[in-house]
Amino acid sequence: MSKELIILGTGGHARVVYDAVIAAGDYRPIGFIDLQTDYTGEELPLPYLGDYSTIRKYPDAHFIIAIGSNRIRQEIADGYDIHYATIIHPSAIFGSNVTLGVGSFVSAGAIINANSIIGKHAIVNTGALIEHDNIIGRYAHIGPKATTGSNVIVGEHCFLGIHAAILPNLTISGYNTIGAGAVVTKDIHTHDVHVGIPAKALGKHHK
């Protein structure tokens, strides 16, 4: 029998993760948990089990943090010593020798090519392309259709927006946001929001 899984989060991303869990069939999802104490969960496909105090009632279950915010994912992971699942949509494509960190999520249509490493609790969202020999840091979020060239390093807590592109052989240090459609053409070592073609810093600290 497949292992029980509880999804932490109730937003749109949580429902995307639920769909991937059902498609993959590796776990048996039993419900959702979130911060809200008076939430009914009427729009959810499974019961709303309660707020985070409910976690202790399920010592044998596995959990996936299905929340888009990198900061919140780390706060939850640091705060709860529980069994975290790694969820992969069956339509995702992997090259050889790819490593996925615990608690990471790879969405439908994503491609992760050879020798790439995805850090713990990272998100590789729908249709994203991670080329060969990449390192994606823990708690990073690679948005839908974002693309990283070969030999790219994306630091922890980075966010790449929809259709963002990182040219090959570049490094983006941790805690940077790359806006939708931006093209990164040189290394980034600040903690900032970067937009445009080529991507330029806005002078706003990454959150």
User: Can 191 be counted among the known catalytic residues?
Assistant: no
Which is the catalytic residue, given 132, 157, 194, 206?
132
**Cα-based torsion angle of the residue sequence 202, 203, 205, 207 in order, rounded to the nearest 10 degrees:** -20
Q: Which helix (H) or strand (E) holds 178?
A: strand 177-178
- Annotate 59-83 with DSSP letters as a single string: TT-EEEE--S-HHHHHHHHHH---E
- The letter for the amino acid at 66 is A
Closest CA to 188 of 162, 158, 164: 158
Which residue numbers are catalytic?
132
